[in-house]
């Protein structure tokens, strides 16, 4: 390990002051400490924000859900309102990491977590995300777990979060605060595709702090759920996943929200699948036809050609599970 300083803050202004001077925020530390041990990240100053009052799940005036940035994954998954209103969020959290990690890791940290690309974590490998301009070892290397959607010539790493896929499907918003200003960013704009700057991963300004993730009220009740396909049943990242939320009334699908994980450089919203569902009656044929759009625009690599077909089957299966649930 290398030397660094640690500052503990007790209010938001103190945190923002430290953050605006280059301090890195840390709460659960379940990603950042690993990366520091591997010297992938070498911050001079850590700002411990775990004492800030950002640990509540509240219902907003408009009936949405606001999950504080420091709510742990376990707390969010177990919250009665989350469980009953958005099972897709609870399930995505419960299928993530291990129980010990879920007890430490926060919602804010979860959506900020960095890729599991092995070359990113190997400081001897070329990696544009870790060391801009150095190249991408994954392009010609072992890229079975990498992305097929949203990739660029600079980077093909997947975003590892499960709950971010649920947030993408539900069109969540990220609440941010900086020195002198608060703002809200649609989840779809918060995480950035790699393009030519894979080292820039979030639409954060210098020193900005995530305060909450808000799931807007959906006036029509949604049935929802999350399916994760992985090489082993626990403590593993997704090869593919699907977050699905449907409103079915009078035997017709009135609203559909679908996103995929394990396949994109960011959680991958699937509007073409949604469009194929809306106005239709649930049936095996519909699930199969709609899911054919899941891998539109996919650009597979040498070792992950299977992901396009696996994604379609994952989406089809989860559409059926949610669409036919009582
Ligand atoms: Fe780095 Fe991205 Fe290439 Fe992985 S895929 S080695 S994170 S540039």
Q: What is the CATH number of the domain that holds 289?
A: 3.30.390.50
Residue 136 CB–ligand 1 contact under 6 Å: yes
Q: Identify the pLDDT of residue 35.
A: 97
Sheet of 181-186, strands arranged across: 57-59, 65-68, 209-215, 173-178, 181-186
Residue 301 CB–ligand 1 contact under 6 Å: no
Average pLDDT, the chain: 97
The mean per-residue pLDDT over the stretch 212-237 comes to 95
Q: Identify the pLDDT of residue 205.
A: 96
pLDDT above 90: residue 36: yes
Q: Identify the pLDDT of residue 221.
A: 93
Q: Identify the pLDDT of residue 180.
A: 83
Q: What are the φ/ψ torsions at residue 273 (nearest 5 degrees)?
A: -70, -45
The mean per-residue pLDDT over the stretch 135-154 comes to 98
Q: How far is the CA of 119 from the centre of ligand 1 (A)?
A: 6
Instruction: Say how many domains are in the chain.
Output: 2
Residue 212 lies inside a defined structural domain of this protein: no
Q: Identify the pLDDT of residue 143.
A: 98
Q: Identify the pLDDT of residue 326.
A: 83
Residues 6-17 pLDDT 10s: 999 999 999 999
The mean per-residue pLDDT over the stretch 99-126 comes to 98
Residue 216 lies inside a defined structural domain of this protein: no
Query: Whole domain around residue 295: which residue ranges?
Result: 223-323
Q: What SS3 state is found at 167?
A: helix
Q: How far is the CA of 82 from the centre of ligand 1 (A)?
A: 34
Residue 147 CB–ligand 1 contact under 6 Å: no
Residue 201 lies inside a defined structural domain of this protein: no
Q: Identify the pLDDT of residue 1.
A: 81
Residue of minimum CA distance from atom 1 in ligand 1:
127
- Residue ending a domain, choose from 13, 31, 50: 50
CATH number at residue 7: 3.30.43.10
List the one residue out of 124, 123, 120 whose CA is nearest residue 154: 120
Please give the number of the atom of ligand 1 that sits closest to the Cα of 147: 5
Mutate to test the pocket of ligand 1, among 40, 146, 198, 299 (most ligand atoms within 8 A of CB): 198
In this prediction, residue 66 has a pLDDT band, given cuts at 50, 70 and 90, of very high
Mutate to test the pocket of ligand 1, among 136, 141, 299 (most ligand atoms within 8 A of CB): 136
Residue 140 lies inside a defined structural domain of this protein: no
Residue 40 CB–ligand 1 contact under 6 Å: no
Cβ atoms of residues 256 and 272 within 8 Å:
no
Cβ atoms of residues 203 and 190 within 8 Å:
yes
- Residue ending a domain, choose from 32, 50, 68: 50
Residue 94 lies inside a defined structural domain of this protein: no
Residue 144 lies inside a defined structural domain of this protein: no
Q: How far is the CA of 4 from the centre of ligand 1 (A)?
A: 26
Residues 188-216 pLDDT 10s: 999 999 999 999 999 999 999 999 999 99
Q: What are the φ/ψ torsions at residue 172 (nearest 5 degrees)?
A: -65, 170
Residue 148 lies inside a defined structural domain of this protein: no
The mean per-residue pLDDT over the stretch 126-134 comes to 98
Q: Which two tokens stand for residue 182?
A: 């608060």
Residue 245 lies inside a defined structural domain of this protein: yes
Q: Identify the pLDDT of residue 96.
A: 97
Percent of the chain's residues with pLDDT above 90: 98
Give 214's strand partners. 66, 173
The mean per-residue pLDDT over the stretch 41-51 comes to 97
Provide the pairing of β-strand 45-48 with 24-26. parallel
- Residue ending a domain, choose from 19, 35, 50: 50
Residues 270-322 pLDDT 10s: 999 999 999 999 999 999 999 999 999 999 999 999 999 999 999 999 999 99
pLDDT above 90: residue 137: yes
The mean per-residue pLDDT over the stretch 81-87 comes to 96
Please give the number of the atom of ligand 1 that sits closest to the Cα of 125: 6
């Amino acid at each position: 390990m290398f030397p660094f300083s640690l500052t503990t803050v007790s209010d938001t202004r103190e945190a923002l002051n430290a953050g605006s001077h280059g301090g890195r925020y840390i709460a659960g530390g379940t990603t950042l400490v690993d990366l520091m041990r591997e010297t992938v990240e070498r911050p001079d100053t850590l700002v411990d924000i775990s004492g800030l009052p950002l640990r509540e799940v509240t219902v907003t005036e408009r009936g949405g859900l606001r999950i504080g940035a420091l709510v742990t994954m376990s707390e969010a998954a177990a919250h009665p309102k989350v469980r009953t209103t958005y099972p897709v969020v609870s399930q995505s959290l419960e299928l993530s990491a291990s129980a010990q990690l879920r007890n430490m890791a926060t919602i804010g940290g979860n959506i900020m977590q960095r890729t599991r690309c092995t070359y990113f974590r190997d400081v001897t490998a070329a990696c544009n995300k870790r060391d801009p301009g150095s190249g991408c070892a994954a392009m010609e290397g072992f890229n079975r777990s990498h992305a097929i959607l949203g990739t660029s010539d600079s980077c093909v790493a997947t975003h590892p979060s499960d709950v971010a896929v649920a947030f993408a499907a539900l069109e969540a918003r990220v609440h941010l605060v900086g020195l002198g200003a608060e703002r809200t960013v649609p989840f779809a704009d918060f995480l950035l595709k790699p393009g030519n700057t894979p080292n820039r991963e979030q639409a954060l300004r210098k020193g900005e702090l995530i305060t909450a993730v808000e799931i807007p009220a959906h006036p029509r009740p949604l049935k929802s759920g999350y399916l994760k396909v992985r090489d082993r049943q626990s403590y593993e990242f997704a090869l593919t996943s699907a977050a699905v939320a449907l409103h079915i009334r009078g035997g017709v699908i009135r609203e559909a929200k679908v996103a995929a994980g394990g396949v994109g450089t960011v959680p991958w919203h699937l509007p073409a699948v949604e469009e194929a569902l809306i106005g239709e009656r649930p049936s095996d044929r519909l699930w199969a036809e709609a899911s054919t759009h899941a891998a539109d625009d996919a650009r597979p690599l040498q070792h992950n050609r299977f992901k396009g077909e696996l994604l379609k089957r994952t989406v089809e299966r989860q559409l059926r599970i949610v669409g036919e649930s009582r």
